Amino acid sequence: MINATTLSSTITTFASNLIHEEHDPSQLYSTLDFSSLSYLEKQWAAWYIFVGNPVLATGLMSFILHEVVYFGRCIPWMIIDRMPYFRKWKLQPNKVPTPAQEWECTKLVLATHFTVELPQIFAFHPLAVAFGMATYQVPFPSWQTMAMQIALFFIMEDAWHYVAHQCLHYGPLYRKIHKLHHKYSAPFGLAAEYAHPLEILILGLGTVGGPLLYCYLTENLHIVTMYTWITLRLWQAVDAHSGYDFPWSLNKILPFWSGAEHHDFHHMAFTNNYSTSFRYLDFIFGTDDKYRVYRQRAAAEKAKASAAAGGVKLSKEQKDAIEQKLLAETEREGIIAEEKAANSGWNAAFKGTKVE
């Protein structure tokens, strides 16, 4: 394990290293046998040699990756929103984002990326090195090692997000910070990072802090694993806000995966479903009770309507009408819950559906 004194000393020189760290590019890999590397590993080394400064190389690569992955994942959802064929899988089909809403989201997200996230991204390399993370080094770890680490990061981040998200529903924190993200009761992909800068920092700590803690304890983490993890986490965040639940969505394959169907309800009802990637914490602590009641009511109403029609199977239009009625009721309750939360202290964050 890294000596705590050494870690403290390294972090103390953080700002200086960030600005002045220089390496002779030819010395980064002076003893490396390039013939033993894969194509991607060679390109990785070539990038660091080309830039010459590992801090700058990591910062540029990290920021470009973030923008490409985030907007690259949002664009397909924007296209799907414009295709009526997919409306049958939209969770709130009467609420399709307008170009004005998408542009408003894009402006705020870009402003946050350049003013809040960019400085942190460029500061990450010295911090990663201080915690013992491999950055420019090659070869990469095995895919088995990466898969195990990423699975652990998903679990760690989900637990952090579950607690931090509920704290953000505390009256003052909700009013000043989290309310912005709840502007849309029917979220869409671009709204995944439509949030207050402090919310980005608080929830982002779970994405970065877990891997850094793991690295500090094990001294066994490569930044390429971080990149893979962050790519998957961004995809998950955008998909959870997409507003669509397809027959092939991941939550249909992995029942414990949250997916858009789970998180969409949180935006609509306000008081339930605080986790990001998984469902089990909400289930264990009872913070999905309203969601489960909603699903049970929908099934019961459909069964009742079918029985009233003499056991005839309901048409899709009839099922949709029942869903829309329940959605409208749930959203009205959510609006009331949000107003109470914004004007009170602790709300229902840790008490399931009760908003006193």
pLDDT tens for the chain, 356 residues long, are 556 555 445 444 444 444 445 556 567 787 888 889 999 999 999 999 999 899 999 999 999 999 999 999 999 999 999 999 999 999 998 899 999 999 999 999 999 999 999 999 999 999 999 999 999 999 999 999 999 999 999 999 999 999 999 999 988 899 999 999 999 989 999 999 999 999 999 999 999 999 999 999 999 999 999 999 999 999 999 999 999 999 999 999 999 999 999 999 999 888 899 999 999 999 999 999 999 988 888 888 877 877 777 776 777 777 777 777 777 777 777 667 777 777 765 444 444 433 32
Is residue 171 within 8 Å of residue 342, measured between CB atoms? yes
Is residue 275 within 8 Å of residue 161, measured between CB atoms? yes
CA 2 from chain centre, in angstroms, equals 30
* Token pair belonging to 94: 């009467």
Side-chain-facing half-sphere of 66: CA atoms under 13 Å: 18
- pTM here is 0.85
d(CA 302, CA 309): 11
Q: Which residue's entry shows tokens 């408003």?
A: 104
Cα torsion 319, 322, 323, 324 to 10°: value is 120
Sequence-distant (≥ 6) Cβ neighbours of residue 355 within 8 angstroms? 271, 336, 337, 340, 341, 347, 348
Is residue 205 within 8 Å of residue 241, measured between CB atoms? no
d(CA 135, CA 45): 10
